[in-house]
Amino acid sequence: MTGIASMTGFARIDGQTGGVPWTWEARSVNGRGLDLRVKAPSFVDAADRHVRQAAAERFKRGSIQVSLTVERPDVRTVARIDRAALQAVLDDLATIEVPPGAMIAPARLDGLLQVRGVMTTADAEDATDALKTGPLDGVGPLFEALHAARLEEGARLQASLVATLDRIADLAVQARALAARQPAQLAARYRETLRQLTAEGPPVSEDWIMQEAAALAVKADVAEELERLAAHVEQARDLLAEGGPVGRRFDFLSQEFNREANTLGAKSADLALTRVAMDLKAAIDAFREQVQNVE
């Protein structure tokens, strides 16, 4: 059994590329489908596409926010010698004839480097080039950690669902016992009502009373509703045992639960049964809220 997964979870992955630290974070809450929002520095190539593809392979439902933080170093300026420009200066100097006795010192390298164009500057981008793709290596481990967190939360959610289903099954048993009393209660109530209405008139046939009471009992029969409730409980237990992304099926099942509870309450002719039906609705509402967070 793989177990169900919640849509609630958090994961964080730290790493570094070329000595530059980066951090991935993912937060997940419940959602009707898979809704993904990605926030990453623009210099990380195709981060949004990479994250979305990886998320679609791992998750089926949930609203997931993913963010990447990179402690990018300040861009430094470095000096470089333009060797072609320096050679051109040296070639020009070689063509100059210095008069004998002229007070001109031979050219030195430090002086030549001051000539415009010989020295150039450039940004030291070597460290950031690797950051264009390096942090993407953390996406896989990030979603593995998020999936583990959602499974852990799902285990706690499953325990709550089992307890709620046990409560629904127990109430259905109580309802069945109370419903068995309804025909006799309806007959007694109908007989008393007729007795009051015909106190000064001719008596009503007992056979006729029983026929009418039986017709009322048929209308108030809740055997089918109780059978379907029991079947829904078993189906819910099967889904829990199956595990995986079963949240949508749980959504549908909670609607079926609610329909049977409403009908049970509407058909009830007994105060105790009505109270059980109300308790059933409360338990089913709790079940419906719980399954909203199942993937």
Domain shared by 239 and 256, yes or no: yes
**How confident is the model at residue 224, as a pLDDT?**
87
Domain shared by 111 and 64, yes or no: no
The residue with greater pLDDT, 49 or 96, is: 49
> What are the Cα distances from residue 4, in Å, to 145, 161, 236, 238, 278?
16, 11, 12, 12, 29
When mean pLDDT is compared over 20-24, 43-47, 89-93, 110-114, the highest value belongs to: 20-24
Domain shared by 183 and 255, yes or no: yes
Q: Which tokens in the block code for residue 21? A: 């630290």
DSSP E strands: which ranges in 54-157? 62-70, 77-81, 119-123
Gap between the Cα atoms of 112 and 89, Å rounded: 8
- The residue segments making up the domain with residue 106 are 77-123
Is residue 125 predicted with pLDDT exceeding 60?
Answer: no
Domain shared by 142 and 277, yes or no: yes
Number of domains in the chain: 2
Lay out the sheet containing 9-17: strands in order across.
Answer: 9-17, 20-29, 62-70, 34-39
Residue after which a domain boundary falls, among 123, 158, 184: 123
> What are the Cα distances from residue 267, in Å, to 169, 173, 216, 217, 263?
19, 17, 10, 10, 6
Q: Which residues 6+ apart lie within 8 Å of 19 measured at CB?
A: 127
Closest by Cα among 175, 188, 172, 168 to 273: 175
DSSP conformation class of 223: H
Domain shared by 2 and 110, yes or no: no
In the chain, % of residues over pLDDT 90? 52
Domain shared by 168 and 280, yes or no: yes
**How confident is the model at residue 188, as a pLDDT?**
60
Q: Which tokens in the block code for residue 214? A: 């039986």
Residue after which a domain boundary falls, among 90, 123, 156: 123
Residue-wise pLDDT tens digits, 152-203: 999 999 999 999 999 999 999 999 888 877 666 665 665 566 566 566 666 6
Residue after which a domain boundary falls, among 123, 151, 183: 123
**31-40, 103-112, 239-248, 283-292: lowest mean pLDDT where?**
103-112
Burial code of 36-48, b = ≥16 C-beta within 10 A, e = fewer? bebebeeebeebe
Domain shared by 184 and 197, yes or no: yes
Gap between the Cα atoms of 129 and 133, Å rounded: 8
When mean pLDDT is compared over 45-59, 128-142, 258-272, the highest value belongs to: 45-59
Domain shared by 221 and 173, yes or no: yes
If you write DSSP's letter for every residue of 151-193 in order, what string do you get?
HHHHHHHHHHHHHHHHHHHHHHHHHHHHHTTHHHHHHHHHHHH
Closest by Cα among 62, 78, 73 to 121: 78
Q: How open is the CA angle 146-152-158, to the nearest 5 degrees?
A: 130
Residue-wise pLDDT tens digits, 208-265: 566 665 555 556 678 888 999 999 999 999 999 999 999 999 999 999 999 999 998 8
Domain shared by 27 and 39, yes or no: yes
122 phi/psi in degrees, rounded to 5: -150, 155
Domain shared by 25 and 43, yes or no: yes
When mean pLDDT is compared over 64-73, 80-89, 245-254, the highest value belongs to: 245-254
- If you average pLDDT over every residue of the chain, what do you get? 84
Domain shared by 103 and 219, yes or no: no
- pTM across the whole model: 0.69
Q: What is the mean pLDDT of residues 143-158?
A: 96
Domain shared by 81 and 135, yes or no: no
**How confident is the model at residue 123, as a pLDDT?**
47
